[in-house]
Amino acid sequence: MKNTIIAILMGVVAFGGAINHDISKANASDFIQWYWHTDQIMARVTSATNVPRYIAAYFLQEGNTPHDVVMAGMLTSDSKDLNIRISSMTEILSMKKINNSWLEVAEALGVDKETCQEYLDRVSDMV
């Protein structure tokens, strides 16, 4: 009887380990897919805005959508100084709310409607 109980427990432990191994493999696969997808998004944001990858990653990790990060980057594209662009992007992203549009944000920044619409069209194609 004792040997039977030990054999059953060993089987449960071995079976549980096999299940756990499969779950960890699935999680690793999901993580790799997520990482690849995130990396592709950051590459697009970086190429569209000419901001370094780590800055794009920062804004994306803060919860901004790729579309919003690219728009903020395009609206600050006139500035060559990276520090000014980062602070400007932060300010622009804080101006964008759920209840307003990018056209309204651009208008508040003094960007004409046609230029903003051109940016929006380019962003839609990229992201």
Task: Tell me if 48 sits within 8 A of 65, measured CB to CB.
Answer: no
Spatial CB neighbours of 108, under 8 Å, sequence gap ≥ 6: 95
Residue 99 has what DSSP assignment? Answer: T
* pLDDT of 93: 92
Assigned token pair, 66: 């790729």
Instruction: Give the tens place of pLDDT for each residue, 84-118.
Output: 777 888 999 999 988 999 999 988 888 888 888 88
State how far the Cα of 3 lies from the Cα of 5, in Å rounded to an integer. Answer: 5
Identify the pLDDT of residue 3. 56
pLDDT > 70? residue 127: no
- Consecutive H or E run containing 69: helix 66-75
SS3 76: coil
- Predicted structure pTM score: 0.66
- pLDDT tens per residue, range 4-28: 555 454 544 444 444 444 555 557 7
pLDDT in tens, 52-62: 888 888 888 89
Strand locations in 56-113, DSSP E?
A: none
